[in-house]
């Protein structure tokens, strides 16, 4: 499968791309030049021919909702709204079959920590700019999915966490990189409902806050909820 991965300058996107490159043909992109041994094409993700050229021939796109904290608030919001819209528009025009949006479980932090939050609960975004950016990115994806322009899967990722010594405290929404890679790999191949599929992704950690494997779906949609098949690796 030919896969375009955005935000090549971010640690998450680069690690995902390197891991996925063993089974897929990966193309990386970013709005700045990035040094990598994988194929890289710099793109501003504007609403023009260059974005169409970027996605042409791709089977899927993995688009990160992560934003550069050093960028201005305006630039962060611009990336998540205008650039995500441009990317989806070009993908739909070029016949790309699948769009995987990497969102965040931070959208669900507004609920009482004692509650087991699933994908069927609505997000509670805060005014915190990175969180708001994830929410706005999801809304753009939702519109394209609603119009059936492209198959969209949203993965709300937990807090990316480095492996630690056994018994060390970890976040209740921790997500280890190998589990993140596994979730994205499954999202590229999973059966799709034909509208919008949303999945919560975190690792198996003590007091894990978010349930996984119960995809969100619309009560008005005749299609049943579909399983991603994601099962975080058991750890000692």
* Fold assignment, 2-201: Rossmann fold (3.40.50)
Q: What is the pLDDT along the chain (236 residues), one digit of tens a residue?
A: 999 999 999 999 999 999 999 999 999 999 999 999 999 999 999 999 999 999 999 999 999 999 888 899 999 999 999 999 999 999 999 999 999 999 999 999 999 988 878 888 899 999 999 999 999 999 999 999 988 889 999 999 999 998 765 557 788 899 999 999 999 999 999 888 878 899 999 998 888 888 776 555 544 554 555 778 888 887 76
Cβ contact 225:217 at 8 Å: yes
* Tokens 């087991």, residue located: 116
The Cα–Cα gap between 182 and 230 comes to 7
pLDDT at 28: 97
pLDDT at 172: 87
The Cα–Cα gap between 65 and 45 comes to 14
DSSP class per residue in the chain: -EEEE--TTSHHHHHHHHHHTTTSEEEEEESS----SSEEEE----SSHHHHHHHTT-SEEEEE----TTS-HHHHHHIIIIIHHHHHHHHHHTT--EEEEEEEGGGGTTS-TTS-B-TTSPP---S-HHHHHHHHHHHHHHHHHHTTSSEEEEEEE-EEE----TT----TTEEEHHHHHHHHHHHHHS---SSEEEEEE----TT--B--S--B--TT-SSPP------PPP--
């Amino acid at each position: 499968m030919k896969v375009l991965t955005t935000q090549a300058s971010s640690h998450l996107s680069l690690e995902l791309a390197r891991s996925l490159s063993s089974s897929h043909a990966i193309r990386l992109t970013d709005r700045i030049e990035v040094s990598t041994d994988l194929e890289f094409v710099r793109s501003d993700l504007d609403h023009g021919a260059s974005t169409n050229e970027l996605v042409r021939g791709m089977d899927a796109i993995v688009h990160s909702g992560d934003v550069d904290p050093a960028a201005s608030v305006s630039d962060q919001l611009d990336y998540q709204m205008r650039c995500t819209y441009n990317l989806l528009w070009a993908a739909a025009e070029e016949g790309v079959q699948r769009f995987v949006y990497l969102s965040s479980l931070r959208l669900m932090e507004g609920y009482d920590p004692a509650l087991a939050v699933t994908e069927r609960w609505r997000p509670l975004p805060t005014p915190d700019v990175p969180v708001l950016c994830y929410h706005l990115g999801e809304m753009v994806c939702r519109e394209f999915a609603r119009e059936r322009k492209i198959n969209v899967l949203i993965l709300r990722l937990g807090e990316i966490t480095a492996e630690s010594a056994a018994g060390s405290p970890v976040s209740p929404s921790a997500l280890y990189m190998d589990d993140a890679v596994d979730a994205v790999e499954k999202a590229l191949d999973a059966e799709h409902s034909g509208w919008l599929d949303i999945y919560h992704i975190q690792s198996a950690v003590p007091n894990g806050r978010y349930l996984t494997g119960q995809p969100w779906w619309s009560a008005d949609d005749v299609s049943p909820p579909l399983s991603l098949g994601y099962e975080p690796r058991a750890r000692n």
